[in-house]
Amino acid sequence: MNRQKFIDKFMTAFFILVIIKVIGILAQLFHQSFWSVIGTLVIFAFVAFIIFIVLIRLEDKEKEKQASGRKGGAGGGNFYLEPSLFDKIRSKYEDLAQKYIDEKDYKRAAKVYMNLLRDHYRGAQTLQDGGFYNEAAVIYLKKLKNKSEAANCYEKAKQYRKAIDLYKELEQKEKVGDLYIEIHDIKNAHTYYQMVVDDYVNNNQMVKASLIYRKKMETPEAAQQVLLNGWEENKDAFNCLNNYFANIFDVKKLDSEIKNLYKKTPSDKKNIYLEALKYEFKKDEKLHSTTRNIAYEIIAEKVNTHSEIVNELKHFNPKDEVILKDISRFKTGRNKMFRN
């Protein structure tokens, strides 16, 4: 079979397939809207026209070769389309999709991407850009197996139950809690938030656990207890202590808590306590006396084994030049002692 005969038979088969496809599209009128079917028919007609033009060009090219006495290919049985023609067809599809996007016809653009370019991701993204979140979610879920994007689309579509089911499968517990809040299911929301807290605590992320209690579950007492546990159990001790103090807004209560907590502080954690006191000293003048006195006590206790700790005095006496000179003399004296 030479190329000309192959092209003729291919065109015949093509026209038969076009007729069958048109009948199939028209049959969709029984379960789809009229304009949806017309839209699909227009897209198909455009594609069929492009393919028809390509075939006509191939036929003309083959006739020209035969007229000039040239044979087409070894044995005449190999038929192929030049890569450039495929590129041109693809480019036409891309232009068509972009045309629909420019016209804000996102559904038609998505059909071009998915049906003609076989690019389901861009199809889903186009639907999402157009605000067709439910349709995009189905593509992400069924075609792309992307539960995360599907859940995100269902959430945007306010299909919270569907989104919750997917987020549960993805084990995004905090997100599940957030969506239960959206549908006013406080009990289930707190159940999942507590799971998040437990995970954070098990991973020694006490500050994050406290934020779930404080921000999501609105239980500041539980948040403070987690921070206190973190300080006492030496799990990110400084940040736990710093946040614990930061959440006490009454200055008198804060002053009292600084004193009480210091009494329970073991010697090996007093350096951390001193570091936290530097932040508390800056908050309010009413805290100066308590923080400075405790700082002096810690420095006096540690100076023999950690002489560099005297530098911390300047943080509690920022405007006292005498203290700065005393620190300098102390350090000089220590250096002379070690040299001798």
Q: Is 150 exposed, middle or buried (0-12, 13-18, 19+ CB in 10 A)?
A: buried
Question: Cα–Cα distance between 88 and 94 in angstroms, integer?
Answer: 10
Inter-residue contact 179 to 160 (CB < 8 Å): yes
pLDDT at position 58 = 67
Question: Cα–Cα distance between 17 and 22 in angstroms, integer?
Answer: 9
Question: Cα–Cα distance between 243 and 253 in angstroms, integer?
Answer: 15
Question: Cα–Cα distance between 59 and 280 in angstroms, integer?
Answer: 87
Instruction: Map the chain to HEC letters.
Output: CCHHHHHHHHHHHHHHHHHHHHHHHHHHHHCCCHHHHHHHHHHHHHHHHHHHHHHHHHHHHHHHHHHCCCCCCHHHCCCCCCHHHHHHHHHHHHHHHHHHHHCCCHHHHHHHHHHHCCCHHHHHHHHHHCCCHHHHHHHHHHHCCCHHHHHHHHHHCCCHHHHHHHHHHCCCHHHHHHHHHHCCCHHHHHHHHHHHHHHHHHCCCHHHHHHHHHHHCCCHHHHHHHHHHHHHCCCCHHHHHHHHHHCCCCHHHHHHHHHHHHHCCCHHHHHHHHHHHHHHHHHCHHHHHHHHHHHHHHHHHHCCCCHHHHHHHHHHCCCCHHHHHHHHHHHHHHHHHHHC
> Residue 329: how many CB atoms within 10 A of its CB?
10
Q: How far is CA 126 from CA 5, 29, 109, 185, 243, in A?
A: 42, 25, 7, 33, 44
- Amino acid identity, position 292: R
Question: Cα–Cα distance between 340 and 195 in angstroms, integer?
Answer: 62
Which residues, 6+ apart, have CB-to-CB distance to 178 below 8 Å?
A: 189, 216
Q: What is the pLDDT along the chain (340 residues), one digit of tens a residue?
A: 455 555 566 666 666 666 766 666 666 666 667 767 677 767 777 777 777 777 677 666 665 665 555 444 444 444 444 556 678 888 888 999 999 999 999 999 999 999 989 999 999 999 999 999 999 999 999 999 999 999 999 999 999 999 999 999 999 999 999 999 999 999 999 999 999 999 999 999 999 999 999 999 999 999 999 999 999 999 999 999 999 999 999 999 999 999 999 999 999 999 999 999 999 999 999 999 999 999 999 998 998 888 888 888 888 988 766 665 665 555 555 444 334 3
Buried b vs exposed e over 116-128: b needs ≥16 C-beta within 10 Å? beebbebbbbbbb
pLDDT at position 278 = 96
Question: Cα–Cα distance between 94 and 118 in angstroms, integer?
Answer: 12
Which residues, 6+ apart, have CB-to-CB distance to 308 below 8 Å?
A: none
Inter-residue contact 108 to 43 (CB < 8 Å): yes
Q: Which two tokens stand for residue 59?
A: 């036929």
Question: Cα–Cα distance between 214 and 244 in angstroms, integer?
Answer: 12
Report CA dihedral (17, 19, 22, 24) to the nearest 10 degrees.
-70
Question: Cα–Cα distance between 67 and 272 in angstroms, integer?
Answer: 95
pLDDT at position 304 = 86
